[in-house]
Structure 1
Amino acid sequence: MSRQALIVWGGWDGHQPDQVADIFAGVLREEGFEVTVSDTLDSFKDEALMAAQDLIVPIWTMGTIEKEQLRPLLDTVKAGCGIAGCHGGMSDAFRNEVEYQFMVGGQWVAHPGNDGVRYEVNMTSSDDPLTKGIGDFEVSSEQYYMHVDPAITVHATTTFADYGSVKMPVVWTKTWGEGRVFHNTLGHQANIVAMPQTLELMRRGFLWAAREA
């Protein structure tokens, strides 16, 4: 029986959520997942659909979510379903929902310099299965200043030289009850998601969150 993944996309169009959903669906299908792609948060209210999932990939920037939509999502992950995503689709979603932010493990708060900042993403360990062989790489995009949960495990960072040389998490993992949570702050638009390094980080994160790695 193939693993099941649910991608739910929407919110602010500037992050190209439909294009990112197509990219992620392709990655997951290559890994043998049966993928359901939805553009409505009401999918989280479908008990049978949620119960069948091994992985949920939210791609929803800002916006609002009703309690009847959010509670099943939180409970499904807490019960053991994985969740994985990137940037605004996951860590700048539903800004009023602190329990959602608690599950994710971080929240976007700023991108000093806006788009086009050149910066490095640095792996924290050469032996980490989620990052091994990818190596440090440069990005020209928004550089994300995050508020993060101290309980996360950090797998990659970037340095804000103008803010006291702060090392800011870029890739992290954590748990939410029995569920695994993977987040990569990269992914302002589809071209950043499609970078080989970003896409490989996401592929590994999907598999880890779904307990296939």
Structure 2
Amino acid sequence: MKRALIVWGGWAGHEPEQVAAIFADVLRNEQFEVEVANTLDVFGDAEKLLGLDLIVPVWTMGEITKEQAANVSAAVQAGTGIAGCHGGMCDAFRTNVDWQFMTGGQWVAHPGNDGVEYTVNIKHSSSPLVEGLQDFQVTSEQYYLHVDPAVEVLATTRFPVASGPHALNKAVDMPVVWTKRWGVGRVYYCALGHHADIVDMPEVKELLRRGLVWAAEGKALAAGGQAGNANYTGMGDSN
């Protein structure tokens, strides 16, 4: 049975406890053994993290110690997956650039704030993570992120929708969902999820379910020497 650790806390406006509960239900339905913690102290146990298949951060605008961040990074580099959404993963620790390097991006703005109606465009490619999924509408925050050019983008949204100082630039397609590697570990991020009701939307929940499972599968594949095998034909084809 795969083992997952969900760690929630930070800014309460993102409903971290409720979001963590949704993640826990999804993973238990996928036959994971799930531990849920509401303290970053669990990141102090390097050996524990190395033994996990998946880490799910649900922590916005917090402070992480260098040791805690290094322990998470080392575990992911060794094969433990990391997956999450919205500010709970990519606006977690604004002063820690190592965290941002690992996760692949950092929130910088949400023009129009909450309540912006926009389209999430699925980027159909060779990735099975979005196979069979269609574009959909969401009314929420539209995240503008600074994004690692190494990521594999699986979904985008078009800016500008709301007005702001960015609006006179040319239209841009901002990544909403991406994957990347950190060492032999798999990283999955979805920018949706301002509140628990957005995470619980069928389209968003399915994107996250696939991403959580995909990230966790990397541990066994790395141990079997398939982490960099381009010919592997399972869900791990993405990035």
**What TM-score do the two structures reach when normalised by structure 2?**
0.86
Q: Which residue of 2 aligns with 1:144?
A: 143
Q: Which residue of 1 aligns with 2:79?
A: 80
Q: Is the 8 A contact 2:46 2:75 kept in 1?
A: no
Per-residue deviation at 1:126? 6.0
Call closer, same or farther: CA 1:126–1:135 in 2, change over 3 Å.
farther
Matching residue's letter, 1:98 = V
Q: Which residue of 1 aligns with 2:224?
A: none
**Alignment of 1:53 onto 2:59:** no
Runs of 4 or more, structure 1, over 4 Å off, are: none
Aligned partner of 2:212 among 199, 206, 210? 206
Q: Which residue of 2 aligns with 1:64?
A: 63
1:10-21 equivalent positions in 2, closer than 5 A: 10-21=9-20
Per-residue deviation at 1:58? 0.3
1:33-52 equivalent positions in 2, closer than 5 A: 33-52=32-51
Matching residue's letter, 2:199 = V
Per-residue deviation at 1:69? 1.4
Matching residue's letter, 1:32 = Q
Q: Distance in 2 between matches of 1:47 and 1:142?
A: 35
Matching residue's letter, 1:130 = L
Matching residue's letter, 2:132 = G
Q: Distance in 2 between matches of 1:52 and 1:3?
A: 10
CA offsets per residue over residues 45-64 of structure 1, 9 Å max, x none?
A: 12342132000000000110
CA offsets per residue over residues 132-156 of structure 1, 9 Å max, x none?
A: 2220000000001010000000000
Per-residue deviation at 1:68? 2.1
**Alignment of 1:24 onto 2:23:** yes
Aligned partner of 2:196 among 185, 190, 200? 190
* Structure 1, unpaired ranges of 5+: none
Q: Distance in 1 between matches of 2:214 and 2:4?
A: 13
Q: Distance in 2 between matches of 1:103 and 1:68?
A: 15
- Partner secondary structure for residue 32 of structure 1: coil
Q: Distance in 2 between matches of 1:3 and 1:53?
A: 8
Q: Distance in 2 between matches of 1:126 and 1:56?
A: 26
Q: Which residue of 2 aligns with 1:102?
A: 101
Q: Distance in 2 between matches of 1:127 and 1:51?
A: 30
* Structure 2, unpaired ranges of 5+: 161-166, 219-234
Q: Is the 8 A contact 1:126 1:133 kept in 2?
A: no
Q: Which residue of 1 aligns with 2:121?
A: 122
Q: Is the 8 A contact 2:118 2:157 kept in 1?
A: yes
**Root mean square deviation, CA, Å:** 1.1
